[in-house]
Structure 1
């Protein structure tokens, strides 16, 4: 029998993107289910707002204060019913993509996206592969390295070669890094060069920390994944607090320091050794997954940091690295 395929999408405050992408997913004929999980959006998703497609199934998780890709997608993938699971973010849809069986190599479907604008993080794989490796590593959070860790474990533990989908296989809505860094849902986020620089710095900090976390706390099918309780009256799901995976305290503290050094070093262009010596009151630790930017940080960013950026950017330009120059000047 042909594989049944579940498209799995988790959305947190990405309503506009989802409403644009969902009809395009519905137009793809090679799936039997589109599971959409509302991860505690401020404005809850309503089934009536989604396409009139009987394959769509909407679930809601409440009580989550911030985005956590690994926990959110592990929950969603566990709730999906298909033999093959197609992880597709709220801003994406399949375009030039055949049915899952046509993508099998030696009887196994294991395809990851390639290209720009978030395609790398999408995948279409057999459920059995995800079950073998335990899905995403729930010790990781923030933006970066979660998909690389998953791919490495599939290749290493499941012994399966990963096939890359061509960029034209997936359509995406191109948008700024603020969405990729999961900050755009916040009311205090305002687009601009400083905010873009903040998001780039946050991405680097969490990505580097996730690399260390993945090595310190490797994930497998035996790892203690989060559990969720279901309220049959309201239909919503909530995290069982005591089930949340927690790394050893020593690892946690070390990664707090690493994220602080990486964020402020990148955001303000300060050498890491200087960040290490400056007091935490001046360069604070993260709070609820982000770093508080005060008036003196903004003043430094707009003056001294920009003065540093231009000569470094000029060297990049002389080497033909125009994009690097633009990143340095913008943040």
Structure 2
């Protein structure tokens, strides 16, 4: 409360100065030019203060903002007094208008700030328990799925407005629950982002989903716990199931172009096509993945991407960690688990 009182005292001084500067211009031919000049000066000063980054920048912004609010309130007060004089309205006499506008103008900032805060709280409020705990029906192509509100799941709608839903975001989770429970959730892609971003992971996992085990979901452990950088899991770290594009897949063209080059063939039959830091690895059975070698101690593995046909209408693309030494066996496990992850959503 003491801090609020100090803030009000700090804001009242520039507000009073701005108000007094324009509240006594009771001639239209004086008020309008004065208002224009004040607006131009306020814009210039606010831009100057807003561009600064020193320790007193916030203090300067507060002063300028309340000076502007005071000037605007003074301008309105003068305008009302002029209208009252022209129309001979006693209710708009200066003795009534000036104190009323002074109080309302000063309080408007706090009223607007309070309203915005309440709107923000309502927007980011947690979804209902039913939304968080239940499975929600959706459909992608001709496949029915049931989706939990879990971290790491990102959905793209198949509507005209291309709605998208990040299920660890409260507003998006609520929107998806409404859409799905109304029977209208038609998707064009389902994305699992399982490696996450460390700075965001805590926020993502604050869901009831992560408060209990989910043996029915192969991906649940990775979704709720950050994967250590030195671990090479047998599951994809990111996966997308999407409608097959009617146009030519550029990755197919890239693969065909790369296969024309001379590969390095390992003793286990793994073929390696190299282009600077990009590797194209091909198993003896024809499985093909594009990999990137970051040559970093913090990322001591290849980040590989593979795309396969899931059904005649759906494609599955996934990223995974690997090394040339374990690629043949590990990529087979990842491919199998990628399909199992999507199948776990089927009711």
TM exceeds 0.5?
A: no
TM-score, scaled relative to structure 1: 0.19
TM-score, scaled relative to structure 2: 0.19
> Which structure is richer in relative contact order (CA contacts within 8 A, separation 6 or more)?
1
Task: Answer 1 or 2: which has greater strand percent.
Answer: 2
Pick the structure with greater CA Rg: 2
Task: Answer 1 or 2: which has greater helix percent.
Answer: 2
